[in-house]
Structure 1
Amino acid sequence: MTSAAMAISKHHNIRFKLTLLVACSLLAACQQGVKPGGSTTQTIGGLLDRNGQNPDRLMMEKIAPKKIVDIDAETQRVEAAALSHYESVLSMESAPGVRAEAMRRSADLRIEAAGQGLDINMDEVALAAGLYQNLLAEFPDYPNNDHVVYQLARAYDLSGRSELAIDTLRGLANDYPMSSRANDALFRSAEMLYLRKRYDEASAQYKKLVSQNSTMPYWQMAQYKYAWSQYQLNHTDEAIAAFTAILTQLKMRSEVNSIGQLVALVAPTQAELVRDSLRGLTLALAAKPEGHSINSYFAALPGNQFYPLVYNSLGDLLLRKKRYTDAASVFDAFASAYPQHELAISHSEKAIAAYKQGGFTALMVAAQEAYVDRYAVDLLAQDGADIAAAKLALLHGYMNDVLDYRHAEAQQTPKVDSELRHSRFIAVAARYRTMLTMFPSDSAFAKTNMRYADALYDGGELNAAAEQYARVAYDLASPDKPADAALASVKAYREFLDAAPNAERDAAQKAVIAASARLASTFPQHPERSRILLASAEDLYRLNRYDDAIAICVPLLADGQWPELSLQRKALSVTADAYFAQENFTQAEIYYSQLMPMLVADSELRKTAADRLAVSVYRRAETARTSGNSTLAAKLFLRAAELSPNAELRANASFDAAGQFYVIENWLKTASVLQAFQREFPGHAMAAESDKLLADTFQKSSQPALAAAVYSRIAQHHDTDIETRRQASVMAAKLYDQAGQRAQARTAIESYVAQFPEPLLEAQQFRQRLANMAPVYSAAHLRWLREIVAADKRAATPLPASQLLAADASLQLAMLDVRNANKVELRLPITSSLPRRQRAMETAIDSLARAASYGFADITTVAGHELGDLFRHFAHALMKSEKPKGLSGDVLEEYALLLEEQAYPFEEKAITAFEANVARVKDGVWTAGMRKSLVALAELAPAKYGKQPQLENSYDSLN
């Protein structure tokens, strides 16, 4: 507000306040004529009517204008005088109407004064609020109470009690609906609620105003604020409807495409409201959960004319919010819904730009594809117009973007997904074809044609690709790298040849040859010439035309002019492979030997070449062996083993070399090669055979211990037949014996017995050998004797030889029992030692009986003699037994006679046993045991058997 305007305002305030002073004087005069105790009942309204104080029809005399020098000072003076007057009125017993009016006017002046400056006088506001409250309480029928309530709300607001101010204003609207201040109260309370973000309550207040007649002063602003309240509450549909209603009221008769056109439809004072309503509509549309789909929105508003502006505004808003895909969708929605609209193409371009700005390349390309499909034909038809030239350039750029992306997408498609990959390349090829058709004068035509050929090639259209490559190489002017295109043409034809069905192979072969020849003649310095020739040689090799392949490669090798080493390697490889296929192993070996140093270590090509080189040498060795040249064969077999990366061939070659050394009796080399073979191939199928050959080699070279060790190993080969293993075990034992290695021999024999219980006799003999190797009566000696006896008992079919061994073992065990019995001395107390001797004798007698039970004369007669000798020893032991202490003289002699009497029966038993043993002579038997018994009889009964020499000579004659 200007200073002049402020002065005028103050002047009017002074006039108003002077008028109030005059009115107060009249009130005082009226008060003098009213008697408080009068009988007439008066109301505030009647009193006001009678005294002309009704605010709606206040009548005053005109006061002559007074020139005021200091307006501010005069104002303060007038206000102070008025307040002083009203206070004096209130202090007196005034008429009700006068008092009520004085209270209201006093409060109004205080509120007016309190709100004049920047700093609010809270004391004055509080006094004013108190006056308003008292007025309402004292005069509930005061006709101007709506004003009082309104001013009370203002007092609450000035004092910072906003909630009371809001409630008071809402109460005014509810309690005084017909008041001229009702709508003002509604709007102000709504505004206060909105400022405090209590949008739900504010919306309800605004809605009450909007529901009234549109001519109401606050109606348009309330409608605008109601729409924003709904937006703030996220009631997007209600907000959209409210904002739309504001814009629809503009009654647009033609299409509005810009903000300027929209604002031109309203008065300048409403321009901002309309502009902001458009902004609110776009914000609400952007906030919808389904995401700005406005085609359905406008479908429900037929005939409205501001749709281009909303589409554009919404798209721009979404762009500013960096919601690029949403913005693009809005622009694209317009182009889709209104394809004939003049803005459709520009909106499609905006959609593409939005995708690009957001970095959504895939979506941008899809939009560019749609653009090309939708507008290309029309744009080409407009060629020549200025605008068409720019659009054609844009179209060209879009098509390039699409081709770049789709071609890369096809290239990145996994080869395992062959169908998708094929379809993508074919689709890209079709777009290249369209590009070439649309822009035949393009400066990059040849490059595009080359990429077209690439797409055909990657899509599997090899013949078509080869033709397009040839077109680039030979037909187009100024192509980029025509030699490369020529080479690609050959490559495409060649690949078609590889995949061509039989019916088309001849034609495909001719195409390859023709393309190769054309390249060679057109580009004689082509760096790939050698490579192309070698590729032809490889083709011939695959066709089994080995002589033709060799005819190409050998001159190239002789020339030695190679642009790169890999071509020389390939020539050597094809040549060597061709000779190898012809089984010309001598030539194959020559070329493979030249090739090997040129190959990368551990490469697959080197492994293959090394394998074939080794095979070539191996085949030569076989030829030498067949011809009887074992020395050469052995040498070649060894070389093949050294060369081959193939373990199986190395094994075979090594074994075969050993065999040839064996043939020429080179025992040292044979053993060396076989041992190396066994170290390298421990689990090989020929391991057992190599052991046999190695063992035989050691035997022949007089190395029994080494041979025995190998035979022991053969005996453990579980995949070798059992008889071979058994014989090997036998040989191991014998050879260890022969070598004087008793411990190893014992181990070998024990291994044999454990593995081969059959045949029985051989196992028994080895057990007997083990028993003999152990010290007599040692644990090992006794163990093997018992094993001999037990094994014979287990035999299903008894063998005489085995039984003889078992009988002899049984006798040896019995002799131990006899020995143990004879060792038991008869000591005092005799009652203790004698039973032990008797038990030991019983054990010995049983053992001798078992040995004799086998029925072999030699064994039986020895057992018989030992039985008699057992009794004789017992009788002797009785005679020599320990005498009780204290015996002497006759007693001692008598004790000796008693022992003699006890021993005599056992001597008789011994004689009986010896005689029974000697009596076998009647059966024509005479053995060492019988001879010993006869000697014993001569000692025990000399009278009868004293002529021993004559008897022995007589019995010996029986043998």
Structure 2
Amino acid sequence: STLGELPAAYIPAKKKVDDSSLDIVAAGYKDALALISDQTMQEDILRRLAMIELRYAEGRQVKESSATPEAVYANAIATYNTLINTQQYRKDNDKLLYPLAKAYEFSGDMPASLQTFDRLVKEFPESNYYSEAQFRRGEMLFSNADYDASAAAYRAIVRRHLRDESQPDHQPSSFLINAYYMLGWAEFKLELHDEALRSFVVVLDEYTQKAIAGYGTRSSDELLQDTFRVMALSFSYTNGAQTIASLLDEIDERPYSDRLFAELGDLYLKKKRYRDSAAVFNSFVERYPQSDKAPEFHQRQIDAFAAGRFPQEVREQKRRFAANYAVDGEFWQSAAEETQVFIKSKLTVYLAELASYHHNLAQQSKAKWQSKGSLATGLAAVQQHFRDASGWYKEWIRSFPGAADLPEKYFLLGETHYEASDYEPAIAAYEMAAYGFNYGNYYTLPANYAATAQSSSAPMESDLASTAQGTDDGPLNTQCGTTEDLGCATT
């Protein structure tokens, strides 16, 4: 889906003329030829008759599928070669070489076509056909894997443009942007990645401006996508995100800067280079911490770690996400509404997962010490795990004050406070779960609530010890998932 989909440079379409019309025109030229004695005018008429011969051949190629291209264009090729040989002194023979080269190309004789285009650009460097001739040369040379010569042909088009662009009436060649695109590919094939990237930037600048202005087409969109893809390959063959940063430092920021990081990160992801992918997404976050796209790239970093099954890294990045994009935090205050909606869609999941993870970790720690019969020994660690869970439940509640499942979160908050011997906040959380909402009594007060309310200073040690001895009057059991729950991607 690369070079074969390159949009053709714009060339004005020829009007369709049937054979009968061509016959009439040809007869008129032949009559005029018999009446005119001026040599230059005679030569011009012969050239027009040659062009009609070429048009005949084009029509015949469409109509006569059984005829070989070589046979179809044989007469036109012979006519043009005769004219070139008999009119060698003329200064406008580029007008003969160009159609001859095209006739060779249509007939399938690519070496002869290339040789004719070579002659055109060498003998007529100021020809109006110069840029197209160089472009066709570049295509043929690229197909022959002669990337050095191909790149030279495309550079000639660029040099011509740079030479003439200061002229008041200068119009860029219709082949210019495609020449930059193909030049980038030739340089890529030559492993000249820095040069290739600069060539591709010109293409991105041109087509991105058209897309922003609403002038993009399907073919230009495809070329744009392919340009991003090959640039990602160049970045991956060099220094990855560091190469992107160096390029942007040199050319300044672009409207598509984020896309460069995204394409490289996605490329690494497809190649299952999960850590490299995550590192690229993180590079964007670090380079543009205040960008509205930073939360999205942070989320993609999390998903890359999740795809690679790195649960510890997933949890750490979810903690970072919660810290960087906290509701009412510094980033939040200046974020666009659309970005805030995205952040909330992730926070509601990440905060709940972090709370659940620490809650479950606390329960596992408690069970481990109970099984050893020495719960008091690990009491401090157990309490800290429950307090960590409490912190995440409180952050979730603070972030989503109008959520439908607030009663559940308050109940779980009460559970973790109780287990940590933080009885007063436990009472407040339990009461909010039971009575604090107009949803009805979503949660009934747990069995330990009355005792907790009567003696909010009851020591956790005795409670945990009695639980270890088989008199379980502790909090209701909660299903918090496993400690591996955070090692999955969220969407």
TM-score range for the pair, normalised by the shorter chain length = 0.5 to 0.7
Q: Which of 162, 173, 177 does residue 216 from structure 1 map onto?
A: 173
Tell me if structure 1 keeps the 8 A contact 2:272–2:308.
yes
Cα distance in 2 for residues equivalent to 1:373 and 1:127: 77
Partner deviation per Cα, 1:904-950 (whole Å, 9 max, x = no partner): xxxxxxxxxxxxxxxxxxxxxxxxxxxxxxxxxxxxxxxxxxxxxxx
Structure 2 letter corresponding to 1:115: Q
Q: Which of 232, 254, 257 does residue 304 from structure 1 map onto?
A: 254
SS in 2 for 1:371: helix
Cα distance in 2 for residues equivalent to 1:407 and 1:198: 66
1:187–1:402 distance in 2 versus 1, CA, 3 Å: farther
1:203–1:371 distance in 2 versus 1, CA, 3 Å: same
Q: Give the corresponding residue for 1:53.
A: 42
Structure 2 letter corresponding to 1:10: V
Higher relative contact order (CA 8 A, sep 6+): 2
Q: Give the corresponding residue for 1:241.
A: 198
1:151–1:346 distance in 2 versus 1, CA, 3 Å: closer
Partner deviation per Cα, 1:596-641 (whole Å, 9 max, x = no partner): xxxxxxxxxxxxxxxxxxxxxxxxxxxxxxxxxxxxxxxxxxxxxx
What is the deviation of 1:199? 4.0
User: Is the radius of gyration larger for structure 1 or structure 2?
Assistant: 1
Q: Give the corresponding residue for 2:373.
A: none
- Indicate the RMSD between aligned Cα atoms, in angstroms: 5.0
1:525–1:318 distance in 2 versus 1, CA, 3 Å: closer
Structure 1 letter corresponding to 2:285: A
Q: Give the corresponding residue for 2:29.
A: 23
Tell me if structure 2 keeps the 8 A contact 1:226–1:242.
yes
Structure 1 letter corresponding to 2:294: A
Residue 411 of structure 2 corresponds to residue 443 of structure 1:
yes
Cα distance in 1 for residues equivalent to 2:426 and 2:196: 66
SS in 2 for 1:443: helix
What is the deviation of 1:331? 3.0
Cα distance in 2 for residues equivalent to 1:374 and 1:201: 52
Q: Which of 331, 337, 349 does residue 394 from structure 1 map onto?
A: 349
1:341–1:430 distance in 2 versus 1, CA, 3 Å: farther
What is the deviation of 1:207? 1.7
Q: Give the corresponding residue for 1:369.
A: 319
Cα distance in 2 for residues equivalent to 1:431 and 1:120: 80
Cα distance in 2 for residues equivalent to 1:395 and 1:350: 13
Q: Which runs of 5+ in 1 are unaligned?
A: 1-5, 32-46, 59-97, 253-261, 412-423, 454-466, 483-510, 528-959
Cα distance in 2 for residues equivalent to 1:369 and 1:292: 24
Partner deviation per Cα, 1:559-616 (whole Å, 9 max, x = no partner): xxxxxxxxxxxxxxxxxxxxxxxxxxxxxxxxxxxxxxxxxxxxxxxxxxxxxxxxxx
Partner deviation per Cα, 1:637-675 (whole Å, 9 max, x = no partner): xxxxxxxxxxxxxxxxxxxxxxxxxxxxxxxxxxxxxxx
Q: Give the corresponding residue for 1:9.
A: 16
Q: Give the corresponding residue for 2:213.
A: 265
Scaled by the length of structure 1, what TM-score is found? 0.35
Q: Give the corresponding residue for 1:354.
A: 304
Q: Which of 239, 246, 267 does residue 290 from structure 1 map onto?
A: 239
Cα distance in 2 for residues equivalent to 1:329 and 1:162: 47
Residue 128 of structure 2 corresponds to residue 180 of structure 1:
yes
Cα distance in 2 for residues equivalent to 1:523 and 1:129: 101
What is the deviation of 1:348? 1.4
Partner deviation per Cα, 1:244-275 (whole Å, 9 max, x = no partner): 223335796xxxxxxxxx61425345x63255
SS in 2 for 1:115: helix
Q: Which runs of 5+ in 2 are unaligned?
A: 1-12, 162-170, 367-380, 398-408, 431-443, 449-457, 473-491
Residue 336 of structure 2 corresponds to residue 329 of structure 1:
no
Cα distance in 1 for residues equivalent to 2:185 and 2:425: 65
Tell me if structure 1 keeps the 8 A contact 2:200–2:227.
yes
Structure with the larger helix share: 1
1:26–1:398 distance in 2 versus 1, CA, 3 Å: same
What is the deviation of 1:301? 3.5
Tell me if structure 2 keeps the 8 A contact 1:114–1:120.
no
SS in 2 for 1:290: coil
Tell me if structure 1 keeps the 8 A contact 2:261–2:280.
yes
Cα distance in 2 for residues equivalent to 1:183 and 1:382: 52
Cα distance in 2 for residues equivalent to 1:368 and 1:389: 13
How many residue pairs get aligned? The number is 397
What is the deviation of 1:201? 3.1
Q: Give the corresponding residue for 1:227.
A: 184
Summarize the alignment of residues 720-739 of structure 1 with structure 2, pairs less than 5 Å apart. none
Residue 471 of structure 2 corresponds to residue 526 of structure 1:
yes
Scaled by the length of structure 2, what TM-score is found? 0.63
SS in 2 for 1:304: coil
Identical pairs, percent: 20
Cα distance in 1 for residues equivalent to 2:426 and 2:25: 107
What is the deviation of 1:284? 0.9
Q: Which of 145, 153, 161 does residue 101 from structure 2 map onto?
A: 153
Structure 1 letter corresponding to 2:203: I
Summarize the alignment of residues 702-721 of structure 1 with structure 2, pairs less than 5 Å apart. none
Tell me if structure 1 keeps the 8 A contact 2:326–2:332.
no
1:332–1:401 distance in 2 versus 1, CA, 3 Å: farther
Summarize the alignment of residues 330-479 of structure 1 with structure 2, pairs less than 5 Å apart. 330-376=280-326, 378=328, 387=341, 390-400=345-355, 403=358, 431-432=388-389, 434-435=391-392, 438=395, 442-445=410-413, 448=416
Structure 1 letter corresponding to 2:351: H
Q: Give the corresponding residue for 1:122.
A: 70
Tell me if structure 2 keeps the 8 A contact 1:114–1:121.
no
Q: Give the corresponding residue for 2:377.
A: none
Larger displacement relative to structure 2 (214-223 or 166-175) = 214-223
1:480–1:237 distance in 2 versus 1, CA, 3 Å: farther
Structure 2 letter corresponding to 1:399: L
Q: Give the corresponding residue for 2:224.
A: 277
SS in 1 for 2:160: coil
